[in-house]
Amino acid sequence: MDAAEMREKSADELTIELIRLKRESFNLRFRRTAQEFNNTARIREVRRETARVKTVLGEMRRARPDSGSGGS
């Protein structure tokens, strides 16, 4: 999934995707350590996709108006 597709999703959907990617990353690292895994490129893909999700979530947080927490 590319960044344009991610921007079409809601923050809740992206948070769920982030959790899924973190679990997958953990499982891949665990399998690599146990030498049951040969596709090391997938680890890089998951890491980069995680970064994309975090970037889009950050953009969403900065784009939404402040919800009343900046009063004097």
**pLDDT mean for each 10 residues of the chain (72 residues):** 86 95 94 83 95 94 71 50
pLDDT at 55: 94
Asked whether the beta carbons of 18 and 60 are under 8 A apart, the reply is: no
Query: 50-64: b or e for each residue (b if 16 or more CB lie within 10 Å)?
Result: bebbeebbeeeeeee
- Distance between CA 42 and CA 69 in Å, rounded? 41
Which pair of tokens denotes residue 52?
């994309």
User: Cα separation of 34 and 36, whole Å?
Assistant: 6
- Quote the pTM value: 0.79
Q: Which domains does the chain have, with CATH numbers?
A: 3-63 (1.10.287.310)
